[in-house]
Amino acid sequence: METLTLAKTPVNPSSQSFGQPLDLSLRIRSIDPALDLEAEIIRLKKERNAVILAHYYQDSDIQDLADYVGDSLALAQAAATTDADVIVFCGVHFMAETAKILNPDKLVLLPDLDAGCSLADRCPIDEYSEWLKQYPGHTVINYINSSAAVKAVSDIIVTSSNAAAIVKQLPVETPIVFGPDRHLGKWVEQQTGREMVLWPGFCIVHEQFSARKLAKMRTEYPNAQLIAHPECEEAVLSQANFVGSTLALLNYVTVQTAQKQFIVATEVGILHQMQKARPDAEFLCSPPNSGCDCASCPYMRLNTLEKLYLCMRDSQPEITMPEDIRLRALRPVQRMLDMSKGLSAVQQKGD
C-alpha cells in the first residue's frame, strides 16, 4: 500500500481562495465608525428574512448575534430545516458549502470567502480521487471538513459528533476509507474496533497541542479535567477525561457541576459558551507547541462583525457550486443526516 504524507505548510488562511471580492478591505474602511453594527445586522436580518448560523469557534460578538450556535452537525441540521430566505454562515467555507448543498434555492453567504480549513485545503479532489483508486469496493466516509467536490465522491459524510456512531451502523465486513482527518479517523477506529484506510490530513489548530506540556500542566492542576476534540493527536486524546465534538464538550462541562476546573484542548472560541454555561468554573487552554497562550483557528478568525455586516448589506460573498457537484454531494450529506437522527441538538438563542 502506498503511504501518502502531506507537507506541513505554514499557516496561511488564504492558501485556497474561493474568489474573494477584491474590494473587501476598501468596503471595510468605508463603514461609518459611528454605525451601530449589531443593530444594523439585526435590522438587515429582519429585512432579508435571514438566519445567522454560527460555529462555536467564531468570535464571541458574532456568536451573541447568531440565531443558532452549534457544532458542524447541529448547524447542518439547522441549515436543513430553516425556512429563512438567506443563510448567513458564520463559520468556514465547507460549513457554508454544506448549507448550500442542502439549500440550492437559498442565498448562502459567508462573511469572508477565504475562511477555509486546513483539512479541506490539504485534501484536493484530484489527489484524493487518484488515491481512492487504490481502494475499490471500499465505503468512502469523509469528514464534513472537506470540499463539495470531495463530498461528491463520498458515500457518507460524518462530523466529529456522529463519526463513530455512523461507522458502527455499517456491517463489520464493509471495508472503509476515511478522510481527511487522520486523528479523527484513528479515534473512530478506537471507538468502533474497526480498521479503516486513513487519508493523512490534519488540522493545524488541533495538531499543535503539546502532549508533553499538557502532561506537565496536569501535574500543576491535579484537580482539572482534560476535555479534548477528536482532531487532537492520540498522545493528547489518551490523557483526556472526555473526548467529543465542540457541542459534546460544551454539554459535558454543563452537566459536570461538581467539577470546577477544565483544561480545554480545542479552539479557543468555544470558551465563550463554556463560561456562559458554567460561570463558576475555570477553563484553562491546553498548551500549544508554539509561544501563544491559546489555540486560535486563523480561518475562523477571518470572519468579523464588519464583514458580517457587509455581507448582509451587499448580499455577497455568496456560496455557489456547479449543480452536478451539488447533486452528487447531497446524497452522502443526506445519508449522514438520516443516519444521525436524534444524535445532536442545536443550541438556539434563549434555550
Q: Applying CB under 6 A, which part among 32-40, 80-88, 127-135, 197-205 lies near ligand SF4?
A: 197-205
From 63, 72, 192, 344, residue interacting with ligand 13P (rule: CB under 6 A): 72
**118 vs 236: CA distance, rounded Å:** 20
Run of H or E including 52: strand 50-55
**56 vs 13: CA distance, rounded Å:** 18
* Nearer of residues 118 and 340 to ligand SF4, judged by Cβ: 118
**Residue in 337, 350, 324 with CA at minimum distance from that of residue 152:** 324
**188 vs 158: CA distance, rounded Å:** 11
Pick what 245 binds: ligand SF4, ligand 13P, none; C-beta below 5 to 8 Å, kind-dependent.
Answer: ligand 13P
DSSP result, 192-205: H----EE--B--TT
Mask: binding to ligand SF4, 237-276, rule CB under 6 A, as x and -? Answer: ------------------------------x---------
Q: Applying CB under 6 A, which part among 121-129, 134-142, 153-161, 302-310 lies near ligand 13P?
A: 153-161
Residue pointed to by grid coordinates 435590522: 43
231 in contact with ligand 13P (CB under 6 A): yes
118 in contact with ligand 13P (CB under 6 A): no
DSSP 3-state assignment of 89?
Answer: strand
DSSP 3-state assignment of 207?
Answer: helix
Question: What Å distances lie between residue 229 and 105, 206, 208, 268, 307, CA to CA?
Answer: 34, 8, 13, 12, 28
From 77, 98, 118, 145, residue interacting with ligand 13P (rule: CB under 6 A): 145
From 156, 300, 302, 319, residue interacting with ligand SF4 (rule: CB under 6 A): 300
Q: CA 342, 84, 115: angle at the middle one, nearest 5?
A: 80
- Nearest distance from residue 92's CB to ligand SF4, in Å? 5
Could you give the angle at which helices 93-102 and 72-81 cross, rounded to 10 degrees? Answer: 30
Phi, psi of 20, rounded to the nearest 5 degrees: -55, 130
From 245, 273, 303, 304, residue interacting with ligand 13P (rule: CB under 6 A): 245
Pick what 98 binds: ligand 13P, ligand SF4, none; C-beta below 5 to 8 Å, kind-dependent.
Answer: none
- Nearest distance from residue 246's CB to ligand SF4, in Å? 9
Contacting positions for ligand 13P (CB under 6 A): 71-72, 145, 159-161, 203, 229, 231, 245-246
Contacting positions for ligand SF4 (CB under 6 A): 92, 117-119, 145, 203-206, 231, 267, 297, 299-300
